[in-house]
């Protein structure tokens, strides 16, 4: 993995943990993260006083030494972390559209996981054994139908969701509430490595070395729902981190499904409340696939098939990601991509030649 100085300076800026709008304003005002870093060293952080609290400036000051920057970059290299910003064509369009998208994401694994049909599964760490079994089965069956499962790598429901997805053959995505070089929970170290080895993806908005702090997880949950077409609540208390994911999903216009857990169990209160409030009931993966109109989804490609896909340029990747979600008309693609007619027509032709996109009646296009 190769990094530019700008990459390192952008990664450094995330240690302040400020709102993405603030980061965008800083970058716009200074022109680049490098300019911010250089100015910060010159005036010992005074340049950022209009943008953030003194405590946040102190966080940046601790990480601004050449030694600290070197160690950060070594950690990123050792873990093979990539960096992706909102100005990158590979940044997921669904995430870019939420109210508070992360300005920068650290990743390990294959970003192409996010180009397919993604559903998140959330729930408590203390789920009942039968709900854990149900989660594993539902995730496996969705995965067998080509759906990527997103969750948070915690014990309980999250772990069952990731493992079921891996068993089903599709890649799974884990959103972490700490740096990607931190094993949290420690017991899921092997699962974390298996996710990457099987073509999946680890994501975090927190830089290397960031510990798993309690307040990171509710903030992180907006990304879990933001990357997903739907959120499945398996089992949780009404007041819980999992319910914050559901609330984000509702604000973001995502579908919400609730599993009818054990009546009388306090851990099933969250799902039952959602059902009373109008969340979609389901009893099997088949119910969800039919409701999402994904019941004709082809099985997940094998690792060999996936590796055989030709490389795509940024424009082709964007078009293919959109058509991976649903069939779209030419005008819809033009609106969604912002491409002019010659560019869009040319890239659609290339995708068709590559055998990835097909033309349908009514000047509509779909994935092969």
pLDDT tens string 80-123: 999 999 988 889 889 998 989 999 999 999 999 998 899 999 99
Has residue 101 been placed in a domain?
Answer: no
Three-state secondary-structure class, residue 237 = coil
* Residue 116 backbone phi and psi in degrees, to 5: -95, -160
Has residue 93 been placed in a domain?
Answer: no
Three-state secondary-structure class, residue 84 = strand
Query: Tokens representing 169?
Result: 């053959």
Q: Determine contact, residues 365/327, Cβ cutoff 8 Å.
A: yes
Report how far residue 274's alpha carbon sits from residue 291's, in angstroms, rounded to the nearest whole number: 17
Identify the residue with better confidence: 203 or 238: 203
Compute the residue count for the chain.
Answer: 368
Query: Which CATH number characterizes residue 165's domain?
Result: 3.40.50.450
Is 187 found in the same domain as 232?
A: yes
Has residue 347 been placed in a domain?
Answer: yes
Q: Is the pLDDT of residue 237 over 50?
A: yes
Is 352 found in the same domain as 285?
A: no
Query: Omega into 185 within 30° of 0, i.e. cis?
Result: yes
Is 224 found in the same domain as 184?
A: yes
pLDDT tens string 54-85: 999 999 999 999 999 999 999 999 999 999 99
Is 317 found in the same domain as 280?
A: no
Share of the chain above pLDDT 70, in %: 93
Residues in Cβ contact with 122 at an 8 Å cutoff, skipping those fewer than 6 apart: 151, 152, 157, 158, 221, 224, 231, 232, 233, 234, 236, 242, 245, 246
Q: What kind and span of H or E run contains 220?
A: helix 216-226
* Most confident of the ranges 82-96, 255-269, 307-321: 82-96
Share of the chain above pLDDT 90, in %: 63
Q: Is the pLDDT of residue 306 over 50?
A: no
Q: Which of 79, 95, 117 is the last residue of a domain?
A: 79
Is 134 found in the same domain as 250?
A: yes
Has residue 100 been placed in a domain?
Answer: no
Has residue 92 been placed in a domain?
Answer: no
Is 275 found in the same domain as 136?
A: yes
Q: Which of 233, 256, 291 is the last residue of a domain?
A: 291
- Number of domains making up the chain: 3
Query: Which CATH number characterizes residue 334's domain?
Result: 1.10.10.10
Q: Which of 262, 291, 320 is the last residue of a domain?
A: 291
Is 275 found in the same domain as 361?
A: no
Has residue 128 been placed in a domain?
Answer: yes
The residue among 217, 163, 165 whose CA lies nearest residue 190 is 163
Report how far residue 92's alpha carbon sits from residue 84's, in angstroms, rounded to the nearest whole number: 10
Is 225 found in the same domain as 356?
A: no
Is 356 found in the same domain as 214?
A: no
211 by Cβ neighbours in 10 Å (0-12 / 13-18 / 19+) ranks as exposed
pLDDT of 265 reads 63
pLDDT of 300 reads 46
Q: Which of 30-34, 106-110, 349-353 has the lowest mean pLDDT?
A: 349-353
Report how far residue 19's alpha carbon sits from residue 250's, in angstroms, rounded to the nearest whole number: 21
User: What pTM did the predictor assign?
Assistant: 0.82
Three-state secondary-structure class, residue 202 = strand
Has residue 102 been placed in a domain?
Answer: no
Is 139 found in the same domain as 37?
A: no
Range of the domain at 223: 108-291
The residue among 288, 300, 289, 175 whose CA lies nearest residue 234 is 288
Is 327 found in the same domain as 256?
A: no
Annotate 98-109 with b (16+ C-beta within 10 A) or e (fewer).
beebbbbbbbbb
Is 258 found in the same domain as 324?
A: no
Has residue 94 been placed in a domain?
Answer: no
């Amino acid at each position: 993995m190769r990094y530019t100085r700008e990459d390192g300076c952008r990664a450094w800026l995330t240690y302040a943990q400020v709102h993405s709008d603030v980061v965008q304003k800083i970058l716009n005002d200074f022109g680049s993260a490098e300019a911010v870093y250089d100015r910060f060293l010159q005036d010992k952080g005074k340049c950022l006083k209009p943008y953030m609290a003194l405590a946040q400036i102190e966080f940046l000051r601790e990480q601004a030494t050449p030694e600290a920057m070197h160690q950060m970059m070594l950690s990123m290299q050792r873990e093979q972390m990539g960096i992706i910003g909102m100005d990158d064509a590979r940044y997921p369009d669904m995430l870019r559209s939420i109210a508070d998208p992360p300005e920068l994401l650290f990743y390990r694994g294959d970003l192409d996981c996010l180009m397919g049909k993604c559903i998140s599964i959330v729930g408590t760490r203390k789920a009942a054994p039968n709900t854990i079994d149900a989660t594993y089965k539902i995730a496996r069956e969705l995965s067998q139908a080509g759906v990527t499962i997103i969750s948070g790598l915690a014990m309980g429901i999250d772990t069952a969701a990731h493992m079921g997805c891996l068993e089903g053959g599709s890649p799974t995505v884990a959103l972490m509430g700490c740096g990607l070089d931190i094993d949290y929970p420690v017991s899921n170290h092997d699962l974390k490595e298996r996710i990457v080895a099987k073509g999946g993806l680890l994501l975090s908005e927190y830089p290397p070395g960031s510990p798993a702090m309690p307040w990171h997880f509710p903030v992180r949950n907006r990304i879990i729902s933001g990357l997903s077409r739907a959120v499945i609540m398996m089992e949780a208390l009404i007041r819980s981190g999992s319910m914050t994911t559901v609330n984000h999903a509702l604000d973001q216009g995502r579908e919400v499904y609730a599993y009818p857990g054990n009546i009388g169990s306090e851990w099933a209160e969250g799902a039952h409340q959602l059902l009373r409030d109008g969340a979609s009931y389901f009893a099997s993966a088949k119910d969800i696939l039919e409701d999402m109109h994904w019941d004709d989804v082809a099985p997940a490609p094998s690792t060999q098939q996936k590796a055989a896909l030709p490389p795509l340029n940024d424009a082709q990747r964007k078009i293919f990601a959109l058509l991976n979600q649903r069939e779209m008309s030419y005008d819809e693609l033009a609106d969604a991509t912002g491409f002019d007619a010659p560019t869009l027509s040319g890239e659609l032709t290339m995708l068709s030649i590559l055998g990835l996109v097909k033309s349908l009646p009514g000047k509509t296009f779909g994935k092969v």
